[in-house]
């Protein structure tokens, strides 16, 4: 079945540094990728939607300059948390879909801890 | 605005007992509906989905869900729960809009299984 690989699974960084998270679709071309954030014991909150070759669409309240999303190819999207702060510590999950109405496939998430 | 509600935050059942997790949706039109399962520190796995047609949907791992338009519900069921089913379960709805599909998650139900 369709597989989405997310890397790294865990990352610890110091406050003020930037962290890049990769999301790859391994056996299909992902026209659309989504980035979610999940706080402990809470649901997934959509941060942004990215379509290959175009700018990401951010949800209300998500800082586009802080969470940089790049979807340069049909198999790769990246989320860069810039100038990370402890409050950015969270579980970030990407998902991807091939065609317009095909199901979403999720990565295994990235646990970001900012010290 | 579209929303998905999971009334139960926690549910505990005995192994071998039957299970029903509740999900209600509020959309302008009938959305696509999904159930996902998440193990600790992991991404989401799709259990089943409803797009149209037969209102009783069979999924993986012995799960099924029934779409009831009159009740705006899409409850997840399993006749006999196994200890390995302990996890977080998310109901999600997706509405096709001119701006593209967007998946909205419920707040999740934590399932504990007593041996």
Query: Would you say residue B108 has pLDDT above 70?
Result: yes
Chain A residues whose CB is inside 8 A of the B46 CB are 103-105
A102 contacts chain B (CB < 8 A): no
Tell me what the pLDDT averaged over chain B comes to: 91
Contact B104, B6 (CB under 8 A): no
What whole-number distance in Å separates Cα of residue B94 and Cα of residue B96?
Answer: 7
CA A44 to chain B, closest CA, distance in angstroms equals 6
B93 contacts chain A (CB < 8 A): no
Q: Which among A30, A43, A45, A107 is the top mutation candidate for probing chain B, defined by the most B β-carbons within 10 Å of its own β-carbon?
A: A43
Query: Would you say residue B99 has pLDDT above 70?
Result: no
What would the two tokens of residue A76 be? 């790769």
What whole-number distance in Å separates Cα of residue B52 and Cα of residue A87?
Answer: 41
- Residue B51 is predicted with a pLDDT of 86
- Residue A72 is predicted with a pLDDT of 82
Residues 6+ apart with CB under 8 A from A22: A5, A6, A7, A76, A77, A78
Q: What is the pLDDT of residues A46-74, one digit of tens each?
A: 999 988 888 899 999 999 999 999 988 88
């Amino acid at each position: 079945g369709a597989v989405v690989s997310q890397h790294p699974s865990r990352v610890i960084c110091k406050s003020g540094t930037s962290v890049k998270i990769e999301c790859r679709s391994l056996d299909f071309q992902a026209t659309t990728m989504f980035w979610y954030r999940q706080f402990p014991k809470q649901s997934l909150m959509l941060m942004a939607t990215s379509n290959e070759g175009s700018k990401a669409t951010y949800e209300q309240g998500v800082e586009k300059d802080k969470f940089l999303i790049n979807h340069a190819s049909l198999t790769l999207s990246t989320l860069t948390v810039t100038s990370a702060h402890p409050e950015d510590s969270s579980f970030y999950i990407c998902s991807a879909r091939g065609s317009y109405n095909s199901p979403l496939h999720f990565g295994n998430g990235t646990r970001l801890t900012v010290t | 605005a579209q929303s998905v509600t999971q009334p139960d935050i926690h549910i505990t059942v005995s192994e071998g007992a039957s299970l029903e997790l509740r999900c209600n949706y509020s959309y302008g039109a009938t959305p696509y509906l999904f159930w996902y399962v998440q193990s600790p520190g992991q991404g989401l796995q799709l259990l089943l989905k409803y797009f149209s047609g037969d209102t009783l949907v069979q999924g993986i791992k012995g799960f099924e869900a029934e779409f009831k338009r009159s009740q705006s519900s899409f409850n997840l069921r399993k006749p006999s729960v196994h200890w390995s089913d302990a996890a977080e379960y998310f109901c999600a709805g997706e509405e096709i809009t001119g701006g593209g599909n967007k998946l909205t998650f419920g707040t999740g139900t934590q399932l504990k299984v007593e041996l």
